[in-house]
Amino acid sequence: MKKILSVLKVVIAAFIVMMATGWPLTSSAQKYEGKHFNNLNKDGVILDGFDAVAFFTDNKPVKGDARYQYNFEDAIYYFTSQQNLDSFKINPEKYKPQFGGWCAYAVSLGRTAPIDVNTFSIVNGRLLLQHNQRAVNAWNKDVQGNLALADKYWPDVTANGGKQITTDIEKTFLNNLDPIGIILQGYDAVAYFTRNKAVKGNPEFSARYNGATYWFSSEANANLFKDSSAKYAPQYGAFCGYAMSLNKLRPVDPEIFQIVDGRLILQHTKDAFEQFNKDLAGNTSKADGNWPGQVKKHAGKKIKFDKPAQSTTETAAK
């Protein structure tokens, strides 16, 4: 019975993560019907009912009218006039939103996210939309490069139902994750800095960074992390700092931590914490030196923890 309950907990947790990361909770129902994976509302309407043609002709989002509608690639389009509807029918490939009406920047990262129609842009004659201003800013850092990535990953994102896929860049990262891809065992990375304590996160407030999904205790903390991810992310991929100083990969207790020169370092046990702090500067330097080699050796592979290092106390006892 205990085993069954344990399995059920994992399944439920996985579903929560799916909802929190791959399928953002919005007022729109997500549908995958036929051959096309579109961002549709509960009535099967794409673009939140805005006129696809008007983005090109009026250079702004204009709400469509249900009287002028057309079904194309498993999505219902609304238009402001019969003229716009006819224009779309003649050349739907010209006017349709790219990536099924999902956030283009999210697709370039290997997943889907909902959109705000006010974030639209026309690039190479293609209608693109983003999730929010943060996504717009990130997208604009390399428009053509991000578009190429979105084009590359879209077939796999579609096949995976919008959930996160492993992109080329994510294969280069090394993180201490649980079976469903959560780092820090779900603890809030930002709270270590702002509250100086380990605080359990909530899957409702999540972010993806360097191949790991983070949970936060509030939307404010999630936004802080999204704005300065490198500042708050744990060192050594959330593996034990002391073990890393010995060139080993070991798990952590998320409640055993310290902030060292503005960097979050976690340890496996209290003994590891004590051993690490006997020479804080020296052990930090060793861990920093060992980390690139561990990344090169293990990135993109299934992680098997090293055997624990024998503590000084245990050695003396023997």
Assign 35 a pLDDT band (cuts: 50, 70, 90). confident
CA gap 203, 45 in Å, rounded:
28
Q: Which pLDDT score, from 0 to 100, does residue 310 have?
A: 66
Contact (CB, 8 A) for 131 and 105: yes
CA gap 195, 246 in Å, rounded:
30
With CA atoms as reference, report the closest residue to 231 among 215, 200, 209, 211.
209
Q: What is the pLDDT of residues 228-263, one digit of tens each?
A: 999 999 999 999 999 999 999 999 999 999 999 999
Which residues, at least 6 apart from 256, have a Cβ–Cβ distance to it below 8 Å? Answer: 266, 267, 268, 269, 270, 272, 273
Indicate whether 24 pLDDT > 80.
no
Indicate whether 318 pLDDT > 70.
no
Mean per-residue pLDDT over the chain, rounded: 90
Q: Running DSSP on this structure, what letter comes out for residue 127?
A: E
Q: Running DSSP on this structure, what letter comes out for residue 167?
A: -
Claim: this prediction has a pTM higher than 0.95 = no
Indicate whether 34 pLDDT > 60.
no
Q: What is the pLDDT of residues 66-79, one digit of tens each?
A: 999 999 999 999 99
Token readout for 196 is 């100086």
CA gap 94, 70 in Å, rounded:
15
